[in-house]
Amino acid sequence: MRAFVLLRLAARSVGRNARRSILTAAAMVIGLALLIFSRALSDGGHEQWIESAVRMGSGHVAIQAPRYLETGKIEHRLERDQLGRAVEAIEALDPELGVVAWAPRLSVSGLASSAASALPVRVEGVDPEREATFSQFEGELRDGRYLEPDDGLHAFVGVELARRLDLEVGNRFVLTAQTASGEVEGQLVRVAGTFRTAVSELDEGLIHVPIETVRAWLGATGSATTVAILVDPSMRTDEVVDALSVSLESDPDIRVLGWRESTPDLDSAVRIDDYGDYIFHIILFAIIALAILNAVLISVLGRRREFGILRAMGLTGFETGVVVFVEGLLLTAASGVVGMVLGFAITWGFFRDGLDFSGLMSSEMSFSGSIIDPVIVPFFQLRQVLVSVYFILVIGSLASLYPALRASRLDPADAMKFEQ
């Protein structure tokens, strides 16, 4: 009964000075909405970076031989039986885990030579059919076509590399690399098409060749250096890594990596960007906390006589403090709900198709092997939204503690001296 009385007093007090309550709540509502919006935008940007990097790199999840990540050499590859086990493990995964595509790759560093020049390149042997849905290089096509399942001695070449080698669609050039047996062997291929991404490393140095051609050329029949896997949503990456690690744990020569491990530069970039966001959030939280503290404290100082009356009526100092604390909590909780709705409404209502930053950046920008799309589409993560709301509630509670303490420690006889 007493708890109910305290709650009712607190609720009425929040409504009593509507203007002050609304102004205080507005600080929290706008703060939370801004937080949800900026978090969704930031997560959306990260998702784009990751999506772009993993499609052109080794996927959200990569299955490799243990030392391949460090050496990048063909001698550290998955042999035919290991590749078979890896594929079996992928196909046995629970569909709920969200694996949407996988592709084997046999990659090697080598030299591309034409009559005009000789340049270092990264040759990726790919399954044209699987790769088309995976890396989606087709979308970056500048000339000719992407590889097709029946292709043999065909190559899909970065446009900048083609320019430097003075190659056009249909021209032939020679790839040279160390084979599985340690010999240096050449392979003549013909340009099927060229691509342009915003990633200069790819445009200047990547060549896709049908995987069977590369296997035959390098004497690595049936093998691959990586099986790349795409996961949707990317948040399930760790679950897929765990599931595959369990399936393949009997073979110590197979290693399962998440994108954070296989693409450490991108992981660092996301973390650094997150830290920047956290600093912004801390500043925002501090402003919100001060707004609440200010409003509730002023309210307490202006109601000393009222608290004196409450004490005279039989409330303890602690209970008087509880009234003030609950006032702060109610204000925070109401603001939390409204702020969350407003945050969703603004983000989803106005920016669901993305926020266009093309005025601020070049249309082709990249880093860490990732293409930066100037249009960032917000991405909501329930966990992030709940964390934001949780922090607002914690901040609101903490900011209400001091005024509550002040109210609980008021001397009732002194409090009664104050005129209202």
Partner 1 sequence: MTRFAVRTEDVWKVYPQEPEPVQAVRGLTLEVESGDFVAMAGPSGSGKTTVLNLLGGLTDATKGRIWIGDEELTGMSERERARLRLDRIGFVFQAYNLLPVLTALENAEFTLLLRGVPREERHARVHALFREIGMEGLADRRPGRLSGGQQQRVAVARAVVGDPALVLADEPTANLDSATSDALLDTMERLNREHGSTFVFSTHDPRVMERARRLITLVDGQIESDERRAPARADLPAP
Binding site for partner 1 (CB under 8 A): 1-2, 5, 9, 12-13, 15-16, 305-306, 308-317, 319, 411-413, 416, 419-420
SS3 257: strand
What residues pair up with 101 in beta bridges, in sequence order? 230
Strands 184-195 and 154-158: parallel
Q: Look at the alpha carbons of 142, 143, 145, 146 in this order and tell me if their dihedral is positive or negative.
A: negative
Q: What is the crossing angle of helices 2-16 and 317-351, to 10°? A: 50
Could you tell me the smallest distance in angstroms from the CB atom of residue 407 to partner 1? 14
Could you tell me the smallest distance in angstroms from the CB atom of residue 403 to partner 1? 17
Q: Which residues, in sequence order, are CB contacts of 293 under 8 Å at separation 6+?
A: 399, 400, 402, 403
Nearer to partner 1, 1 or 382 (CB): 1
Could you tell me the smallest distance in angstroms from the CB atom of residue 18 to partner 1? 12
Using alpha carbons only, what angle is made at residue 247 by residues 84 and 255, rounded to the nearest 5 degrees? 70
Could you tell me the smallest distance in angstroms from the CB atom of residue 410 to partner 1? 11
Nearer to partner 1, 223 or 408 (CB): 408
Using alpha carbons only, what angle is made at residue 412 by residues 406 and 417, rounded to the nearest 5 degrees? 105
Nearer to partner 1, 377 or 416 (CB): 416
Nearer to partner 1, 356 or 414 (CB): 414
Could you tell me the smallest distance in angstroms from the CB atom of residue 414 to partner 1? 8
Nearer to partner 1, 13 or 107 (CB): 13
Could you tell me the smallest distance in angstroms from the CB atom of residue 289 to partner 1? 26
Q: Distance between CA atoms of 224 and 106, rounded to whole angstroms?
A: 4
Peptide bond into 233 cis (omega under 30): yes
Q: Which residues, in sequence order, are CB contacts of 327 under 8 Å at separation 6+?
A: 10, 13, 14, 296, 299, 400
Token look-up 């047996």 returns: 181
Residues 55 and 245 sit within 8 Å (Cβ to Cβ): no
Nearer to partner 1, 259 or 325 (CB): 325
Could you tell me the smallest distance in angstroms from the CB atom of residue 305 to partner 1? 6
Could you tell me the smallest distance in angstroms from the CB atom of residue 310 to partner 1? 7
Q: Distance between CA atoms of 213 and 186, rounded to whole angstroms?
A: 12
Nearer to partner 1, 5 or 115 (CB): 5
Nearer to partner 1, 253 or 411 (CB): 411
Element (H, E) at 54: helix 18-56
Residues 360 and 373 sit within 8 Å (Cβ to Cβ): no
Q: Distance between CA atoms of 176 and 188, rounded to whole angstroms?
A: 9
Nearer to partner 1, 313 or 360 (CB): 313
Q: Distance between CA atoms of 222 and 2, rounded to whole angstroms?
A: 77
Element (H, E) at 174: strand 172-178
Nearer to partner 1, 10 or 207 (CB): 10
Nearer to partner 1, 10 or 297 (CB): 10
What residues pair up with 224 in beta bridges, in sequence order? 78
Could you tell me the smallest distance in angstroms from the CB atom of residue 17 to partner 1? 10
Residues 75 and 407 sit within 8 Å (Cβ to Cβ): no
Could you tell me the smallest distance in angstroms from the CB atom of residue 324 to partner 1? 13
- Two tokens, residue 290: 């001060």
Q: Distance between CA atoms of 37 and 51, rounded to whole angstroms?
A: 21
Residues 327 and 24 sit within 8 Å (Cβ to Cβ): no
Could you tell me the smallest distance in angstroms from the CB atom of residue 329 to partner 1? 17
